[in-house]
Amino acid sequence: MVNKQGQTRLSKYYEHVDINKRTLLETEVIKRCLSRSNEQCSFTEYKDFRLIYRQYAALFIVVGVDDTETEMAIYEFIHNFVEVLDEYFSRVSELDKMFNLDKVHIILDEMVLNGCIVETNRERILAPLLILYSECVDSDL
């Protein structure tokens, strides 16, 4: 998840990449996506990966996959993810993500496990988070 200025807001790896190589990788990936216009298609190749990206206001969500995935399915999965965030944060913004990074991670973990899509149903994705959150509130009281 990257903003228009090229700052990474959230990144998650399902294959091992050296920590010090990640920054370089992310920079290159972001550059690749930012340099593309709206008229261009949302798929591009980067080294051995295919990048699939979508833009929401000033935020880009980029997914790198190997050739075992279907572009269109991932493309729509990004939207599903954004809808889940939207529902949870009620109209999600970049700030929401910055200050609730833990929750975004939990949501993503519910949806993607070990690099595989596992859950796509909105209520089920949010259920654990809602319960966790309500218990937190309870214990705070």
* SS3 readout for 26-38: HHHHHHHHHCCCC
What mask of x and - would describe binding to another protein in positions 61 to 90, judged by CB under 8 A?
-------x-xxxx-xxx-xx----------
Cα 63 from Cα 73, distance rounded (Å): 12
Stretch touching another protein by CB under 8 A, among 1-9, 58-66, 92-100, 119-127: 119-127
Nearer to another protein, 58 or 130 (CB): 130
Q: Identify the residue whose tokens are 């991932």.
A: 74
Note the Cα 29 to chain centre separation in Å: 14
Cβ-Cβ contacts under 8 Å for 79 (sequence gap 6 or more): 54
3-state class (DSSP) for residue 97: helix
Using CB under 8 A, which of 48, 102, 138, 140 touches another protein?
A: 48
Q: Identify the residue whose tokens are 């959230």.
A: 10
Nearer to another protein, 31 or 124 (CB): 124
Rule CB under 8 A: is residue 26 a binding residue for another protein? no
Q: How far is the CB of 92 from another protein (least distance, A)?
A: 17
Q: Look at residues 51, 101, 48 and name the one whose alpha carbon lies nearest to residue 71.
A: 51
Using CB under 8 A, which of 58, 101, 132, 136 touches another protein?
A: 132
Cα 60 from Cα 30, distance rounded (Å): 9
Rule CB under 8 A: is residue 116 a binding residue for another protein? yes
Which 96-115 residues touch another protein, going by CB under 8 A?
A: 113-114
**Which residues here bind another protein, judged by CB under 8 A?**
17, 21, 24-25, 36-37, 39-45, 47-48, 68, 70-73, 75-77, 79-80, 113-114, 116-121, 123-124, 127-128, 131-132, 135
